[in-house]
């Protein structure tokens, strides 16, 4: 059997609260299309698909999960799991986990953390950022996306996370998922590390970046901390967000929350406009989910230009200023 931990959107999500997170929908689809293999069988077999939701289960989420082909929903809710505690949540998942097969989540920070706990508690092996599976094992991203690792996990039960954008969510004939409700009580040990408060500071907020339809990226080519006026204006024109490369945050030009890449946010906008970014692997790892990439760079041979769909060769300040002007002109 395969159990997928599903994350529900919070109140800050653009689509409002209570839906199934995109990455979780991806993970459920990944599980549904591979249930038999994940359960230790062959591709021809079919095997039940279960999910676990912690906290509120909205109608919207239930409906979405039905369309994603889920057979059973474990709805876990109790005062002990209202605030996030990885240990308590992990134990709740362990309580509903199968004895053989797979426990999995999407490769979000929370998914990673919970699966590590689950694996440790179950004595199971774990593979992070899986992108494909077949009878011979998994393929997963390593080296920040620069390479893939082929591996085989031993044991009756395995734990994994699915890399963001490894597959697109795919609707199927709606199911009538059975809903099992659980009200776990956490042990004192599992409540040692609970969120005591949440601080919402604009500088820390990455949600705009990860949810934006358009991201304007800026790299070393911007030149200085004072050089962001044009790119910010462009992001504003397009209702998008600013994302920056690691060098920009290392130089202290912009806050870390705006960083896109292996050690920053991974984004999947409709359009990513990379301005003065050469395209190091670590950055590429964060932007490869974009549907269309536009690069503006002085060096035609830069990786980012070569991998883009569209490019303009030139100084980003001059080019972006001209784009802003053109957009303004057309809107007049």
Partner 1 sequence: MDILVCIKRVPDISGQITLDASGRDIDHGALGHTISAHEECAVELAVQLAGATDGEVTILTLGTDDAVEQLRASLAVGADDAVLIETEDPGAYGPEDIAFAIAEAVRTRANDSRSCDLVLVGNDAADTGDFQVGVRLAYELDRPVLTGITLLRLAEEAAEVDAASEGGPTSVEAYGIGPAGTEVFRLPLPAVVAVQEGGVEPRYPSIPGRMKAKKAPLDEVDAPEPVHGNPRNALELPPEQSSTVTVLGEGPEAAGALVDVLDELGVLR
Partner 2 sequence: MASVPSQASVVVIGAGIVGNSLVHHLAQLGWCDIVQVDKGPLPNPGGSTGHASNFIFPVDHSREITDLTLDSIRQYRELGVFTQSGGFEIARTEERMQELRRRMSSAQAWGIESHLVSAEEVVEKVPYVDPSVILGAFWTPGVGVVDSVGAGTMMRESAQTLGALTVSPNTEVTGIDVEGGRVVRVHTDRGAIETDRVLVACGVWSPRIAAMAGAAIPLTPAVHQMISVGPVPDLAAIPGEISFPIVRDMDALCYERQHGSDLEIGSYAHRAILHEPDGIPSIAAAKLSPTEMPFTADDFDPQLEQALELMPDVLSDPNVEIRYAINGLLSLTPDGSPILGESPQVRGLWSAAAVWVKEGPGVGRAVAEWMTNGLPEVDVQGADIARFHPHQRTREHVRARTSEAFIKTYGIVHPGEQYESDRKVRLSPMHSRHEELGAVFFEAAGWERPQWYKSNAHLLEEFGDRVMDRTAEWDSRWWSPIINAEHLALRERAGIVDLSSFVIFDVFGAAALDAVQAIVVAQMDVPIGRVVYTPVLDEAGGFRSDLTIIRLAHDRFRVVTGAAHGMVDVKWFADRLPESDAAIADLTSSFTTIGIWGPRARDIVSALTSADMTNDGFGFGTARTIEVGSLEVLASRISYVGDLGWELYVPMESGAKLWDTLREAGAGHGLVPVGLGVYGTTGRIEKGYRAFGAELDSERTVVEVGMSRPKVKAQDFVGREAHLRHREEEPKTVLCSLTVDDHTSSTGEKRYMLGGEPIVDRDGQPLIDGHGRRSYVTSAGSAPSLGKHVLMAFLPPAEAVVGNQLQVVYLEERYPVTVASVDATPLFDPDNERIRR
The CA-based angle 21-24-30, given to 5 degrees, is 145
Using the minimum distance from each CB to partner 1, give the nearer residue, 66 or 212. 212
Q: How far is CA 198 from the centre of its chain?
A: 21
Is 270 a binding residue for partner 1 by CB under 8 A? The answer is yes
Stretch that binds partner 1, among 67-75, 178-186, 207-215, 220-228 (CB under 8 A): 207-215
Residue 60 contact, options partner 1, partner 2, none, Cβ 5-8 Å cut-off depending on partner type: none
CB of 239 to partner 1, least distance (A): 6
Residue 239 contact, options partner 1, partner 2, none, Cβ 5-8 Å cut-off depending on partner type: partner 1
Exposed e or buried b for every residue in 295-305, given b needs 16+ CB within 10 A?
Answer: bbbeeeebbbb
Q: Which of 61, 70, 126, 287 binds partner 1 (CB under 8 A)?
A: 126
CB of 275 to partner 1, least distance (A): 11
What number of CA atoms fall less than 13 Å from residue 274's CA on the CB side?
Answer: 35
Is 132 a binding residue for partner 1 by CB under 8 A? The answer is no
* Binding residues for partner 1 restricted to 95-124, rule: CB under 8 A: 109-110, 112-113, 115-117, 119-121
Instruction: State both tokens at 65.
Output: 């999960």
Could you say which DSSP state residue 96 is in?
Answer: H
Question: How do strand 271-275 and strand 147-151 relate by DSSP bridges?
Answer: unpaired
Question: How do strand 2-6 and strand 49-54 relate by DSSP bridges?
Answer: parallel
Q: Which of 23, 129, 245, 268 binds partner 1 (CB under 8 A)?
A: 129
Using the minimum distance from each CB to partner 2, give the nearer residue, 144 or 169. 144
Q: Which of 1, 274, 280, 287 binds partner 1 (CB under 8 A)?
A: 280
Instruction: State both tokens at 38.
Output: 């994940």
Yes or no: say if 3 and 24 are a contact pair by the CB < 8 Å rule. no
Using the minimum distance from each CB to partner 1, give the nearer residue, 66 or 249. 249
Using the minimum distance from each CB to partner 1, give the nearer residue, 167 or 174. 167
Q: Give the other-Cβ count within 10 Å of 196's Cβ.
A: 6
In DSSP terms, 147 is beta-bridged to 142
* Binding residues for partner 1 restricted to 148-177, rule: CB under 8 A: 148-154, 161
Is 208 a binding residue for partner 1 by CB under 8 A? The answer is no
**By CB neighbour count within 10 A (0-12 exposed, 13-18 middle, 19+ buried), where does 59 fall?**
exposed
The three-state (H, E, C) secondary structure of 255-312, written as one string: CHHHEECCCCECCCCCEEEEECCCCCHHHHHHHCCCCEEEEEECCCCCHHHHHCCEEE
Which chain residues interact with partner 2 by CB under 8 A?
Answer: 299-301, 303
Is 323 a binding residue for partner 1 by CB under 8 A? The answer is yes
Using the minimum distance from each CB to partner 2, give the nearer residue, 300 or 326. 300
Using the minimum distance from each CB to partner 1, give the nearer residue, 197 or 332. 197
């Amino acid at each position: 059997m395969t159990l997928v931990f599903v994350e529900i959107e919070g109140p800050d999500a653009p689509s409002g609260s209570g839906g199934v997170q995109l990455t979780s929908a991806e993970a459920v689809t990944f599980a549904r299309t591979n249930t038999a293999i994940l359960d230790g069988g062959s591709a021809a077999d079919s095997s039940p698909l279960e999910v676990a939701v912690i906290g509120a289960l909205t109608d919207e989420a239930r409906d979405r999960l039905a369309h994603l082909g889920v057979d059973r929903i474990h709805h876990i809710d109790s005062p002990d799991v209202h605030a996030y505690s990885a240990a308590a949540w992990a134990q709740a998942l362990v309580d509903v986990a199968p004895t053989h097969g797979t426990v999995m989540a999407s490769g979000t920070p929370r998914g990673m953390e919970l699966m590590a706990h689950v694996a440790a508690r179950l004595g199971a092996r774990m593979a992070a950022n899986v992108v494909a599976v077949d009878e011979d094992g998994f393929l997963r991203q390593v080296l920040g996306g620069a390479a893939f690792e082929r591996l085989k996990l031993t044991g009756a039960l395995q734990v994994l996370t699915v890399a963001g954008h490894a597959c697109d969510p795919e609707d199927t004939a709606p199911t009538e998922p059975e809903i099992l409700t659980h009200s776990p009580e956490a042990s004192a040990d599992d409540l040692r590390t609970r969120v005591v408060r949440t601080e919402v500071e604009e500088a820390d907020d990455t949600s705009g970046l990860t949810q934006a339809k358009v991201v304007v990226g800026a790299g070393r080519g911007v030149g200085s901390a004072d050089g962001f006026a044009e790119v910010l204006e462009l992001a504003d024109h397009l209702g998008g967000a600013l994302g920056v490369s690691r060098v920009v945050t290392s130089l202290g030009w912009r806050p870390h929350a705006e960083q896109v890449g292996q050690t920053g946010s991974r984004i999947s906008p409709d359009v990513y406009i990379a301005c003065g970014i050469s395209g190091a692997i670590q950055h590429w790892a964060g932007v490869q989910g974009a549907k269309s990439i536009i690069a503006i760079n002085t060096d035609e041979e830069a990786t980012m230009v070569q991998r883009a769909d569209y490019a303009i060769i030139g100084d980003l300040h001059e080019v972006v200023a001209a784009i802003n002007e053109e957009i303004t002109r057309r809107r007049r």
